[in-house]
Structure 1
Amino acid sequence: MTAPTRAAPAREWADAFAAASNEDPEIQAHGKYFTCTYLLDATERSYAIKMESGRVTEVTVDPGPLDVPYEFAIRATPETWRGFGEPVPPPMHHGIWAATFQRDMRLDGNILVLMQNLRCVTRQIELLRTVGSPV
Structure 2
Amino acid sequence: MTLTSASDAAVAEKFAAIPAMLDRTPALIARGGWLDCECLLGPVDHPFHISIRRGAIVDMTPAPVLMRSWRFAYRASPVAWAEYWQPMPRPGWHDLLALTKRKQATLEGDLHPFMTHLQYFKDLLALPRAHGRETA
Structure 1 match to 2:121: 121
Q: CA–CA distance in 2 between the matches of 1:80 and 1:14?
A: 13
Instruction: Please tell me whether the aligned partners of residues 83 and 90 of structure 1 are also in contact (alpha carbons under 8 angstroms).
Output: yes
Distance in 1 separating the partners of 2:67 and 2:42: 15
| 2:77 counterpart of 1:77 | yes
The residue type equivalent to 1:121 in the other structure is: F
Q: CA deviation at 1:44?
A: 3.2
Between stretches 34-43 and 47-56, larger displacement belongs to: 34-43
Matches within 5 A, 1:1-135: 6=6, 8=10, 10=12, 13-64=14-65, 66-131=66-131
Identify which of structures 1 and 2 has the higher relative contact order when contacts are C-alpha pairs closer than 8 Å and 6+ apart.
1
| Cα distance in 1 for residues equivalent to 2:76 and 2:10 | 18
Runs of 4 or more, structure 1, over 2 Å off, are 4-10, 12-15
**Unaligned residue ranges in structure 1 (runs of 5+):** none
Provide the rounded CA distance (Å) in 2 between the counterparts of 1:81 and 1:9: 7
Query: What whole-Å deviation, never above 9, does each CA across 1:93-133 have from its counterpart, x for those lacking one?
Result: 2111111221222210001111122121111122131356x
TM-superposed deviation, 1:50: 0.9
For normalisation by structure 1, the TM-score amounts to 0.79
TM-score by length of 2: 0.79
Percentage of matched positions with identical amino acids: 28
Deviation at 1:13, TM superposition (A): 3.6
Whole-angstrom CA distance in 1 between matches of 2:36 and 2:30: 14
Number of positions where the alignment pairs a residue of Structure 1 with one of Structure 2: 127
- Higher normalized helix content (fraction of residues): 2
Structure 2, unmatched stretches of 5+, are none
